């Protein structure tokens, strides 16, 4: 029998998946055999192995590890509000920021010029975290109460402005205490007495422990009466109310729980960075957290964690030239393999791309030698392989790269509009232009490229799989 | 021009500040209203909060800037100034309109029947891409329109110590003309009729033979074109543009659309004026640091008292 409130076709999606033959079916069957708790242990083991590998290695990897766990925690908190309760909260960043700022105030010189203390308030972590969590929880409660009057898009609007108002407020109100645009810095790390977490790796371990406890807690919450009430609210608020679910109470609860998780993440963020700035809590960070959640799949604990891993790791990869090349060509190959079927077409397209590239390169080289004299932006063995494939003029002028970029965007938009054999034909120059653009322009500005890629990932995910990697598709009753 | 008829009585200093603030507020408000109209129209037909709309305004400002450069730069223009201004507006309107249609076709059309959150996230993604593409192509520094160098009629009209720049008059006139043009378009033409039909019930409109795809594309074109023109005018009026101006302007315009009642055209106009006035008065009488905060607080308060906005209709809930 189908679970209550779920469309039958949707409910039987699992059975259909199991009937799939091949490796997909195998994976699905394997997936259904492993229970939830063993999976949590797997996540823990994975984090343990990663952490052990980190000891003595590059500091950047520890930072990436911490960021992954931090964004996973943030995505989990957002999942409570957006994924389970279905309340579109665009002010989530304010809770994260408030947690960080409360921690910062109580572990820095911020209150230093007040008469009651010299050198600021420097409470131990056992006091600051509860203060931050309770304070932000109350904030979440208040905003939740305010949000009761609103629904759907109107809720999104008001919370968006709460988030923006937070950033404006910490930037402008009481610059003597909150530091204004300079932020608060020189924060003391997590410490109890003389024991103190001193390294990024230490924060990584702390965050992993928090993440595992949080996942276990959220799993219990998900399968509890409250979790069912949230999902009922998400699927149909009116029906939920008719079924005597105290809609207002569970809405406020969702907001409060989400805020508490965000505050927890905020304290860790502030302590690890040992400073807070209002720009840390901009709309860009919010979009990144949303990217984690929707990519992994809203409504799924594992999905939120996976999203955190994928988004943070790809951001990290994009900042190094050789890794970003792997990411770019990896995505290119995956898109081609997934979208161009059957394999005969795929083979033809790949052959055509290679032939087209070398052909164009030879023609352009015959006309003007300078036009192909530049070297590709990627480093490593890619560069050698692509030397006679891409067209990069001498000195790789920005104008050329910019024109290629515009051409690439236009061609991608065009390819999507075409159908059938025309699309297959159009894919060849599009991929070639994309590769040239990557080598001639995008590798030169990795920071900007990373942002563009995040935007592209959001759009592609929504177009290809709106329910995310691990989410379940729901039938919307409108 | 000193001493116009209506102001022949000598103004006090406070009065002058008041009127100056009023003028600034109306000009800013007109720009917000133009952007807000696009937000409102798109929300009306698609029920989509198009977060990328503010960035279209930014793209319009850049197109206007490059139009000036194309004609020899601010100090050595090769065509008459009125022609240049018309050219800038037409090119920015057409260019940004086309961009809006392309975005709709590429990103939003495949998501017509997706869950509500999907197009919202896509809009955030588009906003990211637009902002960073401009950063990639043109760099992150602030550019100057240098409008005073080529606008001979930027000389202000003095009325008892109150300065009204000619460019401000242009902004107000163009905005008012466009708003009334839009109102006529929506109320009188066949396109307007089909747009209203799609806004009220897309499926029913489709069954009655309305070309829904074309109507939505057209709505995007008009809304985006207005944002593009607003971008050009803001460049002329305020002088400076960069790739990040879109986000805050979009947010303010969005506030305007919401305060007026999202989906309502007169609401967007009045909302824009209210936000513009609120911003200019709070920055000249309270503190310029707090003006954004005050605008946001106004929005939150409006939404709590009247969630559907001042002119909006409360949504009907179908069970």
- Secondary structure E strands in B190-319: 240-241
Distance of alpha carbon A281 from alpha carbon A100, whole angstroms: 10
Average pLDDT over residues A453-470: 83
A130 touches chain B (CB under 8 A): no
Backbone φ and ψ of B186, nearest 5°: -75, -35
**Is B206:B45 a contact under the CB 8 Å cutoff?**
no
Distance of CA A35 to the CA centre of its chain: 26
Contacts of A355 (CB under 8 A, 6+ apart): none
**Total residues belonging to chain B:** 319
Separation of alpha carbons B249 and B26, rounded Å:
15
The residue of chain A nearest to residue B297, with distances taken between CA atoms, is A165
Taking only residues 88 to 117 of chain B, the set having a beta carbon closer than 8 angstroms to any beta carbon of chain A reads: 102, 105-107, 110-111, 114-117
Cα separation, B308 vs A152, in Å, equals: 12
Q: Can you give the pLDDT at residue A260?
A: 95
Whether residue B115 and residue A406 make contact (CB cut-off 8 A), yes or no, is no
Alpha helices in A173-320 (DSSP H): 175-178, 200-222, 225-235, 237-242, 247-273, 283-296, 301-318
CB A304, CB A79: distance < 8 Å = yes
Predicted confidence band at A116 (pLDDT cuts at 50, 70, 90)? very low
Strands B143-144 and B156-159 turn out to be: unpaired
> Looking at the partner chain, which of A158, A283, A459 has a beta carbon nearest the beta carbon of B126?
A459
Residue A17: which pLDDT band, with cuts at 50, 70 and 90? low
Q: Give the residue from B228, B33, B234 showing the smallest Cα distance to B143.
A: B234
Q: How many CA atoms lie within 13 A of A36 on its CB side?
A: 12
What values do phi and psi take at B241, rounded to 5? -135, 150
- 3-state secondary structure (DSSP) of residue B9: coil
* Among the partner residues B106, B251, B290, nearest to A164 by beta-carbon distance: B251
- What percentage of residues in chain A have a pLDDT greater than 70? 89
3-state secondary structure at position A14: helix
Which of residues 255 through 314 in chain A touch B, CB cutoff 8 A?
A: 283-284, 287, 290-291, 294, 298
DSSP count for chain B of H helices, then E strands: 12, 4
Spell out the domains of chain A, with CATH numbers in brackets.
35-318 (1.10.3470), 324-440 (no CATH)
* A166: Cβ contacts below 8 Å, ≥ 6 apart: A91, A93, A94, A97, A98, A281
CA–CA gap between residue B201 and residue B205 (Å, rounded): 6
Nearest-10 crossing angle of helices B245-260, B265-281 = 120
Residue A167 half-sphere exposure toward CB, CA atoms < 13 A: 19
CB contact under 8 Å between A164 and B296, yes or no, is: yes
Is the pLDDT confidence value at A220 over 80? yes
CA distance A152 to B106: 25
Rounded (10°) angle between helices A36-54 and A200-222: 170
How far is the alpha carbon of A122 from chain B, nearest alpha carbon, in Å? Answer: 30
Number of A/B CB contacts below 8 angstroms equals: 136
pLDDT value of residue B294? 84
Q: Which residues does residue B159 pair with via DSSP β-bridges, in sequence order?
A: B162
The owner of tokens 């927890």 is A264
CB–CB contact A455 B127 (8 Å)? yes
Q: What number of helices (H) and strands (E) belong to chain A?
A: 21, 4
Alpha carbon distance B230, A13 (integer Å): 49
| A452/B137 CB distance under 8 A | no
What is the distance in angstroms between the Cα of A445 and the nearest Cα belonging to chain B? Answer: 8
Q: Read off the pLDDT of residues A121-173 as tens digits, 9 standing for 90 and up.
A: 677 778 888 999 999 999 999 988 888 877 777 788 888 888 888 988 888 88
DSSP state at residue B114: S
Tell which of A452, A464, A468, A478 to mutate to test the B interface (max B CBs under 10 Å). Answer: A452
What's the pLDDT at A115? 39
* pLDDT tens track for A319-356: 777 778 888 888 888 888 888 878 888 999 999 999 99
Say yes or no for a CB contact (<8 Å) between B136 and A405: yes
Question: Percent of chain A at pLDDT above 90?
Answer: 26
Q: Which two tokens stand for residue B50?
A: 């198009």
In this predicted structure, what is the pLDDT of residue A325? 82
Joined together, the tokens standing for residue B73 give: 């730069």
Q: Mean per-residue pLDDT for A291-305?
A: 88
pLDDT of residue A190: 84
CA distance A407 to chain B (A): 12
Cβ–Cβ below 8 Å for A455 and B126 = yes
Report the pLDDT value the prediction gives residue B124, as an integer from 0 to 100.
87
Bigger pLDDT: B114 vs A99: A99
Give pLDDT tens digits for A232-264. 988 888 889 898 999 999 999 999 999 999 999
d(CA A445, CA A282): 22
* Run of H or E residues at B162: strand B162-165
Quickly list H helices, B139-211.
Answer: 147-150, 166-188, 190-200, 202-207
> Most distant CA pair in chain B: distance in Å?
65
Winning range, highest mean pLDDT, from A18-22, A75-79, A159-163, A399-403: A75-79
Determine contact: A462 vs chain B, CB below 8 A.
yes
Which of A139, A194, A166, A133 has the alpha carbon at shortest distance from A276?
A166
Name the residue facing B296 among A161, A287, A456 (closest C-beta): A161
Q: Are A286 and A449 in contact (CB under 8 A)?
A: no
* Mutate which: A290, A459, A467, A472, vs B, most B CBs within 10 A: A459
What average pLDDT does the segment A259-285 reach? 91
* CB atoms A452 and B129 under 8 Å: yes
* Partner residues linked to B305 by β-bridges: none
Q: Do B111 and A405 touch (CB under 8 A)?
A: no
pLDDT tens track for A192-219: 777 778 788 889 999 999 999 999 999 9
Contact partners, residue A107, CB within 8 Å, separation at least 6: A120, A121, A122, A123, A128, A187, A188, A271
pLDDT of residue B315: 64
pLDDT of residue B48: 85
Identify the pLDDT of residue A475. Answer: 59
Write the residue in B106, B133, B292 that is nearest to A168 by C-beta.
B292
d(CA B171, CA B74): 19
> To 10 degrees, what angle do helices A36-54 and A59-78 make?
150
Q: Could you list the mean pLDDT of each consecutive 10-residue stretch along chain B, which spans 319 residues?
A: 44 80 91 90 86 93 91 79 89 95 91 82 90 90 80 62 79 91 91 91 90 94 94 89 87 84 83 90 82 81 78 65
Residue A306, Cβ neighbours under 10 Å: how many? 21
What are the Cα distances from residue A364, in Å, to A391, A401, A404? 8, 16, 15
More confident residue, A380 or A427: A427
Task: Report the complex ipTM.
Answer: 0.83
Q: Which residues contact A385 (CB under 8 A, 6 or more apart)?
A: none
Task: Residue A275: count other Cβ atoms within 10 Å of its Cβ.
Answer: 17
Separation CA A430–CA A38 (nearest Å): 45
Mean pLDDT of chain A: 84
Provide the 8-state DSSP code for A122: B
SS3 call for B202: helix
A466 in reach of chain B (CB within 8 A) = yes
Residue of A7, A90, A143, A153 to mutate when probing chain B, most B C-beta within 10 A? A153
């Amino acid at each position: 029998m189908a679970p209550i409130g779920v469309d039958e076709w949707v409910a039987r999606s699992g059975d259909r998946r199991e009937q799939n033959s091949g490796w997909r079916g195998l994976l699905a069957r394997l997936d259904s055999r492993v229970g939830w708790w063993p999976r949590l242990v797997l996540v823990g083991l994975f984090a343990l192995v990663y952490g052990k590998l980190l000891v003595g290695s590059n500091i950047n990897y520890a930072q990436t590890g911490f960021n992954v766990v931090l964004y996973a925690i943030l995505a989990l908190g957002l999942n409570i509000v957006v994924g389970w309760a279905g309340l579109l909260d665009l002010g989530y960043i304010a809770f994260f920021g408030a947690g960080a700022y409360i921690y910062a105030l109580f572990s820095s010189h911020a209150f230093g010029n007040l008469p009651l203390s010299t050198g600021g308030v420097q409470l131990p972590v056992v006091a600051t975290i509860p203060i931050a969590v309770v304070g932000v929880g109350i904030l979440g409660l208040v905003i939740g109460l305010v949000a009761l009057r609103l629904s759907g898009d109107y809720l999104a609007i008001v919370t968006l402005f709460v988030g923006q108002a937070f950033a404006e407020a910490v930037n402008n109100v009481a610059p003597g205490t909150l530091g204004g645009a300079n932020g608060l810095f020189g924060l003391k790390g997590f410490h109890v007495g003389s024991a103190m977490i001193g390294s990024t790796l230490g924060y990584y371990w702390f965050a992993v422990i928090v993440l595992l406890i949080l996942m276990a807690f959220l799993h219990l919450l998900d399968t509890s009466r409250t979790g069912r009430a949230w999902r009922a609210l998400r699927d149909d608020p009116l029906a939920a109310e008719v079924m005597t679910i105290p809609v207002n109470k569970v809405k406020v609860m969702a907001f409060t729980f989400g805020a508490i998780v965000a505050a927890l993440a905020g304290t860790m963020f502030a302590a690890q960075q040992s400073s807070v700035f209002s720009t840390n809590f901009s709309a860009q960070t919010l979009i990144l957290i949303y990217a984690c959640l929707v990519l992994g799949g809203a409504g799924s604990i594992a999905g939120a964690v996976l999203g955190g891993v994928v988004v943070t790791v790809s951001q990290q990869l994009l900042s190094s030239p050789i890794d970003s090349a792997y990411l770019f060509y990896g995505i290119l190959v995956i898109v081609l393999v997934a979208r161009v079927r059957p394999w005969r077409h795929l083979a033809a397209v790949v052959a055509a791309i290679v032939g087209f590239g070398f052909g164009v390169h030879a023609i352009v080289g015959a006309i003007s030698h300078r036009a192909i004299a530049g070297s590709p932006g990627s480093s490593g063995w890619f560069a050698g392989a692509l030397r006679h494939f891409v067209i990069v003029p001498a000195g790789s002028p920005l104008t050329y790269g910019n024109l290629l970029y515009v051409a690439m965007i236009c061609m991608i938009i065009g390819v999507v509009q075409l159908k059938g054999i025309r699309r297959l034909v159009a894919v060849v120059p599009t991929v070639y232009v994309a590769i040239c653009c990557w080598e001639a322009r995008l590798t030169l500005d990795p920071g900007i490229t990373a942002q563009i890629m995040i935007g592209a990932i959001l759009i592609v995910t929504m177009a290809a799989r709106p329910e995310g990697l691990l989410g379940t598709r729901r039938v919307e009753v409108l | 021009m000193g001493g116009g008829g209506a102001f022949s009585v000598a103004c006090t200093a406070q009065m002058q500040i008041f009127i100056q603030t009023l003028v600034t507020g109306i000009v800013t408000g007109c720009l917000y209203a133009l952007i807000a109209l696009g937000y409102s129209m798109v929300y009306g037909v698609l029920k989509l909060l198009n977060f990328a709309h503010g960035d279209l305004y930014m793209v319009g400002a850049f197109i206007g800037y490059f139009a000036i450069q194309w004609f020899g730069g601010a100090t050595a223009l090769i065509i008459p100034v009125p022609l240049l201004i018309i050219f800038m507006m037409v090119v920015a309107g057409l260019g940004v309109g086309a961009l809006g249609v392309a975005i709709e076709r590429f990103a939003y059309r495949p998501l017509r029947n997706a869950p509500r959150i999907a197009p919202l996230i896509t809009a955030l993604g588009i906003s990211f891409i637009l902002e960073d593409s401009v950063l990639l192509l043109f760099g992150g520094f602030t550019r100057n329109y240098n409008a005073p160098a080529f606008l001979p009629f930027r000389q202000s009209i003095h009325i008892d110590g109150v300065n009204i720049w000619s460019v401000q008059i242009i902004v107000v006139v163009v905005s008012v003309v466009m708003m009334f043009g839009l109102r006529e378009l929506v109320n009188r033409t066949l396109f307007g009729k089909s747009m209203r039909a799609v806004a009220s019930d897309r499926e029913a409109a489709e069954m009655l033979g309305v070309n829904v795809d074309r109507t939505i594309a057209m709505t995007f074109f008009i809304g985006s074109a207005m944002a593009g023109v607003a971008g050009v005018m803001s460049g002329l009026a305020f002088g400076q543009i960069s790739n990040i101006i879109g986000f805050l302007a979009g947010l303010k315009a969005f506030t305007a659309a919401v305060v007026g009642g999202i989906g309502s055209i007169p609401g967007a106009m009045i909302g824009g004026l209210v936000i513009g006035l609120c911003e200019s008065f709070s920055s000249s009488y309270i503190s310029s640091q707090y003006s954004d905060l005050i605008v946001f607080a106004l929005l939150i308060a409006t939404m709590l008292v009247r969630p559907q906005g001042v002119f909006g209709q409360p949504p009907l809930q179908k069970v």
